[in-house]
Chain A
Amino acid sequence: MERDDRHRHVDEVFRARLSDLNVTPPAEVWKAVESAVSGRKKVRPLTLFRLVAATLLLLVLTGSLWLIYLNKPSGGDLAGRPVFSDETSVSQAEEPAGSLAQEHETTPVAAGQAKSTGASSLQAGKTDGDGTKMTAQRERTTVAPAPEERISPLARRSFSPLDVPGPGLRVPPVSSQEGLAYAGRLGPDNRAVSSVTLVPAEEKVEEKPLFSWGIGATAGPLFSYRNLPVKTEYTRFLNEQEKGMLSYGGSFSFFVKRKKRLSVETGISYYRTGQVSTDMVAFRQIKSGNLALLESKGNNYLYNSGGVPGYSVEALFIANRRDPAGNDQTGYILTYLGQGLYEPVDAELQFDYQFVEVPLVLHYRVIDRAFGVNLMGGMGASLLFDSRASVVTADGQHAILGHLDGLRRSNINSIVGVGFSYRLGNDLLFRMEPVMRYYINPVSNNGGIEAHPFLFGVYSGMSIYF
């Protein structure tokens, strides 16, 4: 008894004097705290800058590739072959000075090409069938077509001399030694004043549209995970405790296809992602068998971790079994809930997030056969439209806890993948696409946690082109 009194006395002396003691800390502490807290905020503009820079870079790259592709000499049938123009004056005397010279912009060509040009030009001169004397000074220059004279596959077809509209002189097709045909255009006075384009004589030029389009749908399982940058004990703790989540996603797509190899995909996608906190403990009412949920608290619950123990008795019903220091908190929590009223039960805490995304993905077809392979790269703007936390106990009880706070609604993610396809018909494709998505901005802006989740999915579906 005397010993207890002495104990209480010592405790009381210290408690009375120290429990509410107020000691002004050095000013440097606030400066350090302020720096750490504001430092976290300063990350935002940088992240935003990176985001904008990455988006611009992608747009510029995509645009550049597209423009380069559009500016290539059109059509595979002429690709790699020279396109020549020739000046064909019927009579030098009748020729208005300089009129032809202004028609074209001349450019030099390689020696071999020039030789073939000469041959065909000469041939053309010999076969000039209406007896008009060809000029001896006819230049054997190779003239690249002026921009406005670039010939689209559609235009090229009507560019046969026989198809030239209007009355007057027609220049018949002439075979050259290289198997090229002569094609020309007549001026208003029936003189051949325009360029001469040599096209393969025997080759049938097919009419193909510049673009085709298609629609498709895919769906499949996906695995999502987040690995937090370790900045504090808390983030290290979460990394150790969390595991990825297996879920699903899918999309409806619209394709615009340029020729055979390049296409752009957009549309709308849906993804369910998340992560699972393991090593949790839930508290179940022994009497009723119910988890200690608080209906009256609506969506409110307390996720207890990170050295921040749950303070409220009422809201606390699930917690990390261990705090970041590794201490088992179960007994500590039970004392708040009331000994003998609740029992602890092993559980997992599942966080899931649902996104809709508008993707913009460039596909480049590396293998273009019945079995095809695409390389895919792009970005997506995704909107978080729902989030949920739920607890699942080891013995199968499940309870939805509520929505999650501190998440960004608008996000930007990158998209990289490989697409495999198999042609089932002329325009019908079966697709299977392993695709990875990575959130460029932190999805969470809560408590200094910068979560950049990634999603890996294997989607399969069909596409049809029109």
Chain B
Amino acid sequence: MLEPDLRDIIRKSLEGERAAQKALYDALAGRMYALCLRYAHDEAEAKDILQEGFIKMFQNLGRFRFEGSFEGWVRRIMVNTALERLRREDHLTASIEEVDFQDPPGRDDVEAGLSAQDLLAMIRELSPQYRMVFNLYAIEGYSHKEISKMLHISEGTSKSNLSRARAILQEKLKQQDKPVGRSEHGKGR
């Protein structure tokens, strides 16, 4: 979406114009839902996060200052919403065992064709702690220091959770043996 268009849509959304709000939602909903699916345990939870995140976005729309990517701003809202939700449901407050994880043996050529849906399913099978750390680090690009502050854990715990998550995912990848690009869920990019 071009910035002048975006400004116009945001302004109209702030004025309560339903069509503009819908346009804003439509422009972002697909990618945000995919993000929520990564953080949530199941689709129902992902829908809840998406819904809560968009409500929060509309309620705080006046705070966006057009000084960065709007999508990035919304993405952060979604991540924070997922984080709040998991914390509220006590998924993240359980003590996380700091383990000195041994890397799994050998690397397989697992990159050979797995659908996004398969990968999503793998992530969602992770425990909430591992899932959150993996998403934040590997996909969103947060550092361990940032993650440790966000999740109230030590950097060491963040690292070990990431290693553990990677190992589990690598194991799952290894178990898959599917051709490339099938069962793509949604529009895909």
Contact = CB atoms under 8 A, between A and B. Distances in A.
A and B found bound together = yes
A17 B145 CA distance: 25
B139 A18 contact: yes
Contacts of B56: 232, 234, 306-308
Interface string A302-344: 1100111101101100000001111111011001000000000
B62 A33 contact: no
B120 A18 contact: yes
B8 interface: no
Counting chain A CB atoms within 10 Å of each CB, which of B21, B51, B77, B111 scores highest?
Answer: B51
Contacts of A18: 34, 38, 116, 119-120, 123, 139
Interface in B47-76: 47, 50-51, 54-56, 58-63, 65, 67-69, 72-73, 76
Contacts of A325: 80, 83-84, 87
Nearest to A311: B68
Given A29-B54, A232-B56, A323-B80, A335 B123 contact: no
Contacts of A19: 139
Nearest to A303: B63
A34 B21 contact: yes
A261 interface: no
A312 B150 contact: no
Interface in A243-258: none
B123 A312 contact: no
Nearest to A32: B51
Nearest to B30: A22
B6 interface: no
A328 B21 CA distance: 32
Interface residues of A, number: 61
B25 A33 contact: yes
Interface residues of B, number: 68
B91 interface: no
A32 to B, nearest CB: 5
A448 B67 contact: no
Contact of B119 (A7, A14, A307): A14
Nearest to B162: A7
B63 A20 contact: no
A37 B21 contact: yes
B150 A332 contact: yes
A11 interface: yes
A354 B23 CA distance: 37
B7 interface: no
Given A312-B65, A331-B149, A335-B146, A25 B84 contact: no
Counting chain B CB atoms within 10 Å of each CB, which of A20, A28, A311, A331 scores highest?
Answer: A311
A21 interface: yes
B103 A6 contact: yes
Given A13-B173, A14-B123, A22-B189, A308 B77 contact: yes
Contacts of B146: 331-332, 335
Contacts of A21: 31, 34, 116, 120, 185-186, 188-189
Contacts of B18: 34, 38
B138 A15 contact: yes
Contacts of B169: 10, 14
B62 A446 contact: yes
A300 interface: yes
A447 B34 contact: no
B116 A312 contact: no
Contacts of A15: 138-139
A37 B58 contact: yes
Interface in B13-35: 16, 18, 21-22, 25, 29-34
B20 to A, nearest CB: 11
Contacts of B149: 327-329, 331-332
11 contacts: A6-B107, A10-B173, A14-B138, A22-B31, A30-B29, A33-B55, A309-B80, A311-B76, A324-B80, A325-B80, A331-B146
Interface of B: 16, 18, 21-22, 25, 29-34, 37-38, 47, 50-51, 54-56, 58-63, 65, 67-69, 72-73, 76-77, 80-81, 83-84, 87, 103, 107, 110-111, 114, 116, 119-120, 123, 134, 137-139, 143, 145-146, 149-152, 163, 166, 169-170, 173, 185-189
Closest 3 CB pairs between A and B?
A312-B67, A23-B186, A311-B68
